[in-house]
Structure 1
Amino acid sequence: MRWTRRAAVALTAATAVASALAAGVVLAQVAPAAAVPPVPVTPAAPIRLALIEGLSGPLGNGGEAVFRNLIWATERVNARGGVKLPGGARRLEIVRFDSKGSVEESLSMLRAATDQGIPVVLQGNSSAVASALIGALDKHNTREPDRRALFLNYAAVDPALTGAQCSFWHFRFDAHTDMRLAALVEVIAQDRNLKRLYLIGQDYSFGQHLREQARAMLAQRRPDLQIVGDELHPLGRVKDFLPYATKIRASGAQAVLTGNWGNDLTLLIKAAKDIGLDARFYTFYGNALGVPGVLGEAGVDRVLAVAEWHPNVGTVDSERFYATFRQRFPKPEHDYLHARMQLMVEMLAAAMEKAGSTDPKAVALALEGLRLDGRPLGVAHQGWMRPSDHQLQQPLYVSVMRRAGEAGTAHDNEGSGYGFRTLRFLDAAQAEQPSSCRMKRPY
């Protein structure tokens, strides 16, 4: 029998259909080949980052401000294609876990994050929480090596976290207490008119260390300076700081040194303003979240702050960086930007790309010793991750509150009409402090 080519093709197709039907396969009506739509490519799963922070309660405003910073940082990485890995680029995604500012709730949120296999944890507002997370994560990573996680810390500044408690899995991107304090003491030491100083802080690990270290540094640099008060108060629970401000005034203090943050700082300085306390405030966070607006004219030349960056640094890179953030968050009350948080996300992305992986151990090894100049990426900051203790080395600025529009104060804070002008700049080498870390490595 002669077979035509058309008949052979038809028989082949019929045989294929019959075979499929015999196997129980349901066949859809087949369109001509030219009309078959392309199979959509499934996008790569995002790299999830767990933000464990107090997003409600008395210090929730600070947590939400952190969230805005981190969202902007991840958006900027994602806008240029995400994290480029061998299997394809992947975007970053923030997953919120509300710890309500509680250590116990933070540990619960850590378990929830690791149960979901999230490889990176972010936290910072409270050294007590950070300490608990480090201990819990060390145990978790030992017990469950297939579900390890890294802890990136953007604000918990107790030196013990990268000192006595230092962990391979923990990296700090903020300048710790001793680094910030040394910068403030440099300015205090130059003020020879200052004779009487009051110490006040929050009663937990950070505040307790600051109190002790302040006394030690001041005794070295200003042995003539009289400390006329030394007090700790409960963290986040004081609603009325008037009794504290009254004691400060009664002591005859010319200046106050405090590490207070969040509402504990805002309410303290507001109480000082309300009773007309004529004193300078040397602060870690006096340029942040509501303080300039509360102080107004009373803060001019009286409130000093120390940070890795501020909006009036004045360089071309800084101006561009700040302008871009204000475009993203135009509301004045959202004016709370930290260059270190942007650099943290950029360094994480760079470490993942260097490691070619999101595996926490590989990323940790890539982060160690990493130097990143964020300026080409639109971040007005640069840093080096010291391998010995995982403490970021970075420049610091001491600044003083001034009226916006005056020399050196082009930008205000939160639409208050008041901003900060640089008094003292310390490069990374000047800001560096020795480490006591004896790190145990997982290999």
Structure 2
Amino acid sequence: MLKTLLSTLATTVLLVGTVSADTVRIALIDPLTGPMAAAGQSALDHLNFHARTINANGGINGDKIEIVGMDNKVNPQESLVQFQKAVDDGIRYVTQGMGSSVGSALLTAVNKHNARNPGKEVLYLNMAAVDPAFTNERCSFWHFRFDAHVDMKMNAMTSWIEGRDDIKKVYLINQDYSFGRAVAEAATRMLKEKRPDIEIVGQDFHPLAKVKDFTPYVSKIQSSGADAVITGNWGQDITLLVKAAADYGVDLPFLTYYGAMAGVVTQVGDAGVDRIYQVNEYYGDFDDPDMAGQQVAMYEQTGWDYYWLRLSTMLDMLQKAAEKAGSTDPVQVAFAMEGLGVETPTGEVVMRKEDHQMQLPLFISVLKDDMKYGAEGTDFNFHKIAEISRDQVSLPTTCKMRRPDNA
């Protein structure tokens, strides 16, 4: 509670404080209150953590980065209200990730705003809204995605499942909106292609951030005879799901997109060891000394674990693109970001020009005990068990990008 209060207070100060002309402001439009607040607050604090590092080293072309937190309560309509407030305040970079329904609304709003306001364009830096459509049929010059989309992650996950002879029956449980539906569709399609012998023994869709007790769903999973569960749940919905499974004694692997999000390790603890898996661009047991230092510093300064590697990558790429362009103007930065690569602790990642989809390696990891760097003040963290290279993660795009006339 104290951490949330302090973070919210800091956000309020940013919103009402005097803004320097030499500041690159980025609005984070995500949940900062309510049941999904941990996801938004941890992202806000990670952005501020990395922004301090960039600012201490000269900023972006000499300008400081300022992160402005704007609470959308995971609501598309409220997100549009916050977007308009950001635009009215002269902010020209927005980032968001919690919910593709919100991402869809913001993508439409950014496209309309930029068409109607030449010279005042806004860039949408998408950190986690992973509906594949955003970089396929709905691709936009004004949108850049820094996370692997649903199909990229499922391609990696099902390639790993392909070699697991002990998995023959799978249960799908997902949030009932575009993202959850996309996860279920991708799992069904890719399992059929790679492991036609696997049977989908059950499928559930539940309301986003509304379920308080997942026991009825867990009971169905237990009764189905499943060997594994695949879920794209995030925020409160992944925490409560895996906790209910642990409490119920369901001893199955949960193959997740967001099993390492804030709260999961604390809630599940020992019951999640060797049972909660995640496909992500990051895992907990990096042995790189610099990365280990970042993990320790992040937790000491914010109380959150170093989960959002892609947010650091996003700010690093924004800095590099602005330096390449010699400007912080969003249009010039957008052109400079196309095809740009940056080095990360996992290797070079590249922003593909064709669709503005980040190309990056992914990792399968599993929760373990007695880890050198424990998560959430425990001895548990995620241990890498498989790496899928950038080329293997990459998928074709149907994007037909329309660029400004000065392209």
Does the alignment reach a TM-score above 0.5?
yes
Identify which of 246, 251, 255 aligns with 2:228.
255
From 31, 35, 39, the counterpart of 1:58: 35
Match of 2:5 in 1: none
Residue in 2 that maps onto 1:307:
280
Distance 2:159 2:25 in 1: 41
Confirm or deny: 8 A CA contact 2:171 2:226 kept in the other structure. Answer: yes
> TM-score scaled to structure 1, two decimals?
0.85
Deviation of the 1:146 alpha carbon: 2.3
Structure 1 counterpart of 2:52, which letter?
A: E
Distance 1:369 1:111 in 2: 30
Q: Which digits, 9 at most, give the CA deviation of each residue in 1:398-425, with x for residues without a partner?
A: 01111124xxxx3221122211111111
Does 2:158 correspond to 1:196?
no
Structure 2 partner of 1:426: 388
Summarize the alignment of residues 254-403 of structure 1 with structure 2, pairs less than 5 Å apart. 254-314=227-287, 316=288, 319-330=289-300, 333-374=303-344, 382-403=348-369
**Contact 1:199–1:256 at 8 Å: present in 2 too?**
yes
Secondary structure at the counterpart of residue 279 of structure 2: strand
**What letter is aligned with 2:164?**
D
Q: Secondary structure at the match of 2:119?
A: helix
Q: How many Å apart are 1:212 and its aligned residue?
A: 0.8
- Secondary structure of the corresponding residue to residue 161 of structure 2: helix
The 3 A distance-change label for structure 1 pair 374 and 254 is closer
Structure 2 match to 1:184: 157
Q: Summarize the Cα distance change of 1:113–1:304 in structure 2 as closer, same or farther, 3 Å threshold.
A: same
Q: Please state how far the C-alpha of 1:344 moved relative to its aligned partner.
A: 0.3
Give the whole-Å Cα distance in 1 for the aligned partners of 2:98 and 2:302: 22
Q: Distance in 2 between matches of 1:276 and 1:74?
A: 42
**Contact persistence 1:119–1:358 (CA under 8 A):** no
- Report the Cα offset of residue 113 of structure 1: 0.8
Larger Rg: 1
Cα separation, 1, equivalents of 2:242 and 2:302: 21
TM-score normalized by structure 2?
Answer: 0.92
Q: CA deviation at 1:44?
A: 5.0
Q: CA separation in 1, counterparts of 2:350 and 2:46?
A: 21
Letter in 1 for 2:391: A
Residues 355 and 399 in structure 2, CA contact (< 8 A), matched pair in contact too = yes
- State yes or no: 1:142 paired with 2:130: no
Q: Deviations over 1:87-113 (max 9, x none)?
A: xx1111011111111100001111111
1:333: how far off?
4.7
User: Structure 1 244/336 Cα, relative in aligned 2: closer, same or farther at 3 Å?
Assistant: farther
Separation in structure 1 between the aligned mates of residue 223 and residue 305 of structure 2, nearest angstrom: 35
The whole-number CA distance in structure 2 between the counterparts of 1:328 and 1:282 is 27
Q: How big is the alpha-carbon RMSD for the aligned residues of Structure 1 and Structure 2?
A: 1.6
CA distance in 2, matches of 1:272, 1:328: 30
Counterparts of 1:43 and 1:249 in 2: how far apart (Å)? 57
Q: Secondary structure at the match of 1:55?
A: coil
SS in 2 for 1:147: coil
- 2:62 maps to 1:81: no
Q: CA deviation at 1:332?
A: 8.8
1:303-322 deviation line (CA, Å, top 9, x unaligned): 110111223132x2xx3123
- The CA distance in 1 between the partners of 2:34 and 2:306, in whole Å, is 19
Q: Secondary structure at the match of 2:376?
A: coil
The alpha-carbon deviation at position 353 of structure 1 amounts to 1.2
Structure 1: tracts of 5 or more residues without a match: 1-41
Distance across 2 between alignment mates of 1:176 and 1:260: 14
Query: Matches of 1:217 and 1:300 in 2, distance apart?
Result: 27
| Partners of 1:340 and 1:381 within 8 A in 2 | no
CA distance in structure 2 between the aligned counterparts of 1:389 and 1:252, rounded to whole angstroms? 41
User: One-letter code of the match for 2:78?
Assistant: E
Taking the aligned partners of 2:58 and 2:269, their CA distance within structure 1 comes to 43
* Structure 1 partner of 2:78: 105
Provide the rounded CA distance (Å) in 2 between the counterparts of 1:73 and 1:266.
26
